[in-house]
Structure formats: structure tokens, C-alpha cells
Structure 1
Amino acid sequence: MKILVTGGAGFIGSHLVERLLREGHEVWTIDDLSTGKKEFLQATLTHPRHRFLKGTVLDRALLKETIQQVDLIYHLAAVLGVKNCVEHPLKVIEGNIDGTRNVLELAYPERKKVIFASTSEVYGKNSRLPFHEDDERILGSTAIHRWCYATAKALDEHLCFAYAKQGLPVTVLRYFNAYGPRATATAYGGVIPRFITAALKGEPLEVYGTGEQTRCFTYIEDTVEGTYRAMNEKADGVVINIGNNQPESIMKAAQLVKQLTGSDSPIVKVPYEKAYGRGYEDMMKRQPDLTRARQLLDYLPTIDFTTGLSRTIDWYRQQLTTGGTEQ
């Protein structure tokens, strides 16, 4: 199959490109390298079935030309990160909504399936656990920029299902805290790369808030597995949670990183106000219901947190030794 991956030089995207090539597909990658890195695709740049295009999903001409050549689109390109939400909300809103609209509009005439990468952020402050795909979303005030990413992604999902109603095959995936090699502190799973980098450099591991918040960290191999399986027609027209369903506290994550790295770095608590400014809000708990993923995709995560962290630490250690990717 001929497949386009937008954001293919990013953390999840680059791993997905490798998986698609291993499975025998032809892959086109579009990435503007604003957060993605060409070095993440180093092993695939010269592959005979891979074409890398430096560009943005805001470039309709490039996008149209590429979509006409493929059978399916993985739309992972996005403006990510809590820091961007707080400091550059307009960039987050326009970058996510306009890009997704372009992809859907151009895929629609020829009914090219779109698999859209959404986020568990859309659940907002809902305290009912685990999160089922059809649960209500509870968000904070629009005056709090923290919620602009969740809102933009939710609108993207509405766009997806509006096109699905018109006959476009669409699948929406909600990712839960992906982490692993190539993750950066500004994108998916930001807390894990922050902790690992600090531990390896002998710097304090900063835990924002109380540290009692829990997340379900998902190793990249499991994230990509669920993403790959979403090509299945059974996934058309629905939202599917992709993640791990075993919660870990942020404090425990910091302690485990310190233990696995053998670091003497202290763990310090930092108030949210100091980290992100006044008015920041967070969710205390986030956990996916994986029933739908299991039923439609036969998906269940297989990599436990300790194993995933160990693999991730090995990658970061190598990067620091060789002077590789800046985190």
C-alpha cells in the first residue's frame, strides 16, 4: 500500500514510518522539521520505498500532489506540548485546525482513508475512570490557554466525523502519554524525557505539583502497534484509545528513573505557577478504557513501564555520549 505520514519525522511518526517500511509499504513523509528531526529518519532516508518531503500540511499544493499518489494517510503533524499551549496558543490552534482541515478536504474527493492522531487531552478534567471513547469532555475556562490544545484536537475530531458522515473513511486515535526513544520534552510524554535527561546530567528532577498525579505511560512500540492496526476497516468511523491502562504516579516515575539511571540527582517539587505561570490547571488522573481497542484492533500493550524506561534510558545515554539530539 502507498501511505502518507504527516509529521513523519517526529517521535511517533518516525517509528511509524519504520514499521510501515518493514511491513512492505511505500511511504511518503511530510514534515517541516519544526519539532521533528531528520535524524530520526536516518535509517529510512535512503530506503527505496521511502520519500521524504520537507514541507508543511499548511502547504495545500504539496499536500494535494502527495495525497493523489497514496492510498491512505496517517495525519500525525501537529503543534504539541503544554508549553506551546501556555506560551503560543494561537500557534497551537491554527496549526492543528488548519492542517487537519487541509488533509481532510484533499483526501475527501478520492475517499482516501485518514487515520488522525488525537490525544487523551480531549477528556479534560473528567474524573470518571477509565476514560471510554464516548465519555463526556470536561474542560476549563477558555481564558486558560492550557485547554487550547484539547479544544483544537476536539474540533479536529469533529471535522473528521463530519467528513466521515459524507463518506470519507476516517479513524481517530487518542494517544495516552507515549514515551520512548526520540521523545522530547516539548512533545509527547514530555515528563519522561525531562526526568531522564536531568538524571543523566546530574540535575534535579523537577516534579510539577504534588507528584500524586497519575498517567498511563505507553511505550512507543505499543503506540505504533495500535496505530498500525488502525488501517483495519473495522476501525472506520470511530474513536479508539491507544495506550497503556496501568497508572503510575509522576513521583513514582521520577523515582524509577533515578533508580534505573543510578543517578544521585535530587527530586524536587515545583509549583505549577512557577513552571507554567498563573492559572495553570492539570488533571490528577488519566487512564484509558481499552475495550474498543481490543475488540476492533485486537490491541493490548505488552511493554511494562520498567522495561520501557530502561530501553528509553539506554537511548538517551547514547545520545548524550555521542552528542546527539538536543532534548
Structure 2
Amino acid sequence: MDILITGASGFIGSFIVEEALRRGMNVWAAMRKTSSRKYLTDSRINFIELDLSSQTRLVEQMTGLCFDVVVHAAGATKCLHKEDFFKVNTDGTRNLVRALQQLQMPLKRFVYVSSLSVYGPVREQRPYSEIKESDMPRPNTAYGQSKLDSERFLDTLEDFPCVTLRPTGVYGPRECDYFMMAKSIKGHTDFSVGYKPQDLTFVYVLDVVQAVFLAIERGKSGRKYFLSDGKVYSSRTFSDLIHRELGRPWLLRIKAPIWVLRVVTFFGEYVGRITGKVSALNNDKYNIMRQRNWRCDIAPAREELGYTPQYDLERGVPLTVKWYCDNGWL
């Protein structure tokens, strides 16, 4: 089976490549010319440069190739300008699909890696309950809106074998955002915001990979699935586990009202635009951290795909921290 994986050099994409190789697939890793191949060293990988900004260019780049499966994991999670999310996530998805259609690619499955962020702050009244597919999405981030627009485009297609996955916060080895929390804790500071209780959900990267291949094998065209590890956590659970795995260094815990984060992210985004460097402290980050309910209903993924999460935080965080330490990140 020939599989094309976009965003192959990224956090999730690189793990999808590894699993596809393990399954004996003929792997095509799509990436930008400037992307690192640090985690893509297997000699069996076929590399292909794809320009997702142009349907015409994509047709040229894929002419003569034939893919049975496409996993579209490429996407922007942080951008200097709001419109860039839509150029990369929405227009990039549309260009790729239109190019595949123009080439009459005989796809058995197209797996789109979306995000729980497409829903935004729904079911925010306590007691919190699981976000369900029937809820009305109202994303409060440019990232979430760009992913939702991509999903809505895919919904307009007839006879296109697409399955959409909507993971909650994905963590694991090679991931950079949660790494910043680990780095801060090693530096003796744990920062949190907001006094209203927050229900958080997480999913380990290998469980996302599990869902990708279940979607290839068992997914039904047009279906969309939330992904988490099936548990709900308090706002401190993740940081407490990191603290434990780092040997419990002395720690200053700082809890600030949400308006402090608003000020910090406002200036972080402003400075980012001046310097031309994307800051992790931006407007989207503010809205993500302000959201209180991240519960989601994974029953359809369990029942229809056979998805069975293997890594809760008790198992996944130690593996993640160990990787950070072993690879010199911490």
C-alpha cells in the first residue's frame, strides 16, 4: 500500500511515518524543502516536496505517482498573522484535495488530522459535560476556525473517502509546547492562570497514530472522531506528574488571574510581529488557556474504529519526560 503523509517532519507526522514503515507500507513523506529530516532517517522513506499553496504546483509534483492512502497531518499551529492560519490549514487542504481529484487519484482513504479546537468553549457551564459531535462549533481561535473551515470544505465533497480525527491536546516525545512546561518546572517555576475549575483532556501521540491507522482500516467516509485518552484531569495533574518525574525539585507555584495572561499574550503577540518570530504567548494561546471545558466524547471512536487508548498521563508523561532528558532537551 502506498501512503502519502503530509507534515511528515512534524511532531505527529513523524510518528505516523514510523508506524507506516513498521506495517510494511510504501511511505511517501511530504515536507517543505527547509524542513528537518532529523526523525526521518529510515532509508525506505520516499521524500516528496509539496507546495500546498498551489493546486497547479501540487498537480505537477504528484503527476506520475499513485497513492492508496493520504494522511493529511500538515498544518500551522502558530502564526504571526491570523490570515496565515487560513492560507496553510484551510487553503492548503483545499489545494491538496483538488489536486488529488484532478489527478484522479484512486484513494481508498483520506485521513484528515483536525483538532478538538474546532469546537471552542462549548458546554462551559458547570458541571462540565463531554463535547459531542452534535454540538454547534464556535471556535474562539484562528487555528480552530481554520481547521473548522477545512472540515466544512471536506463536507461538501461527494464520494471522497475522508475520515476526520479531532484530537485534544497531543503530547509525547518531540513535542515542543508541553516541553515548555517541563522546562519551566525544571527551572523551579510552575505558572497557571484562572481560578475557575478547569477540566482538561490529553492524548499521547502514539494513541493518535493508533487512531490514524484504525481510520484507514475501518473508518467510514464522512465520519469525524474525537480523540483523548478517555480520562479527565484537573489543571495541575500534568505539571504535578512532570514535577514527580524530574525528582521533585523545589518549586514556586504561581497562580494568576486570567487578565494577567491577557496582558502577557497581548504583548507577546505584539513583540512577535515586530521581531518576525512567532511567540507561544499569543492571542490563540490566551483563548485556549481561558477555555475551562476540554471534555470530549470518544465513544464513537471506540465503537466504530475500535480505538482503545493505551496511554493515560500516568504512563505517557514519564515516557515523555524521559525522552526529553535522554535527548538533551532537559
Distance of aligned partners of 1:41 and 1:274 in 2 relative to their CA distance in 1, 3 Å threshold: farther
1:97 aligns with 2:97: no
Superposition deviation, residue 297 in structure 1: 0.8
Are residue 303 (structure 1) and residue 311 (structure 2) matched? Answer: yes
TM-score normalised by L of structure 1 = 0.84
2:122 corresponding residue in structure 1: 126
Give how far 1:233 is off: 4.7
* Partner SS state of residue 46, structure 2: strand
- Equivalent position of 2:280 in the other structure: none
**Unaligned stretches of 5+ residues in structure 2:** 268-282
Deviation for aligned residue 1:101: 0.3
- Tell me, yes or no, if the aligned pair for 1:75 and 1:115 is still in contact at 8 Å: yes
TM-superposed CA distance for 1:78, in Å, is 0.4
| Deviation readout 1:83-127 (Å, 9 max, x if unpaired) | x3xx42111121111110011112223352321111000111111
SS at match of 1:178: strand
Structure 1 distance, partners of 2:74, 2:4, is 11
Contact 1:132 1:289 in 2 (8 A): yes
- TM-superposed CA distance for 1:205, in Å, is 2.5
Distance verdict in 2 for CA 1:264–1:238, change over 3 Å: same
1:285-300 matches, cutoff 5 A: 285-300=293-308
Matches within 5 A, 1:271-286: 271-277=260-266, 280-281=286-287, 282-286=290-294
Deviations 1:163-192 (A, max 9, x none): 1xx21111111011110001112xxxxxx2
- Contact 1:211 / 1:249 at 8 angstroms: preserved in 2? no
1:1-327 mapped onto 2 (5 Å cutoff): 1-32=1-32, 37-42=36-41, 44=42, 46=43, 48=44, 50-60=45-55, 63-64=58-59, 65-66=61-62, 68-81=65-78, 84=79, 87-108=80-101, 109-112=104-107, 113-127=109-123, 129-140=129-140, 147-163=141-157, 166-185=158-177, 192-200=178-186, 202-210=187-195, 212-262=197-247, 263-270=249-256, 271-277=260-266, 280-281=286-287, 282-320=290-328
Whole-Å separation in 2 of the counterparts to 1:273 and 1:133 = 30
Give distance in 2, aligned partners of 1:13 and 1:62.
Answer: 22
CA RMSD, aligned part only? 2.3
3-state SS of the aligned residue for 1:41?
Answer: coil
Q: 1:301 to 1:69 in 2, by over 3 A?
A: same
Inter-partner Cα distance in structure 2 for 1:169 and 1:27: 19
Residue number in structure 2 paired with 1:189? none
Contact residue 111 and residue 168 of structure 1 kept, 8 A: no
Of all paired residues, the percent bearing the same amino acid is 24
The number of aligned residues is: 298
CA contact 1:122–1:153 (8 Å) conserved in 2? yes
Which secondary structure state, in structure 2, belongs to the residue aligned with residue 126 of structure 1? coil
Amino acid at match of 2:149: L
**Superposition deviation, residue 303 in structure 1:** 1.1
- The alpha-carbon deviation at position 293 of structure 1 amounts to 0.5
Q: Secondary structure of the equivalent of 1:320?
A: coil
Cα separation, partners in 2 of 1:51 and 1:61, compared to 1, 3 Å: farther
Is the partner of 2:327 in helix, strand or coil?
Answer: helix
3-state secondary structure, aligned to 2:165: strand
Moved more, 236-245 or 21-30: 236-245
Kindly indicate whether the alpha-carbon contact (under 8 Å) linking 1:111 and 1:169 is maintained by their aligned counterparts in 2.
no
Structure 1 residues 212 and 38, CA, compared in 2 at 3 Å: closer, same or farther? farther
Normalised by the size of structure 2, how large is the TM-score? 0.83
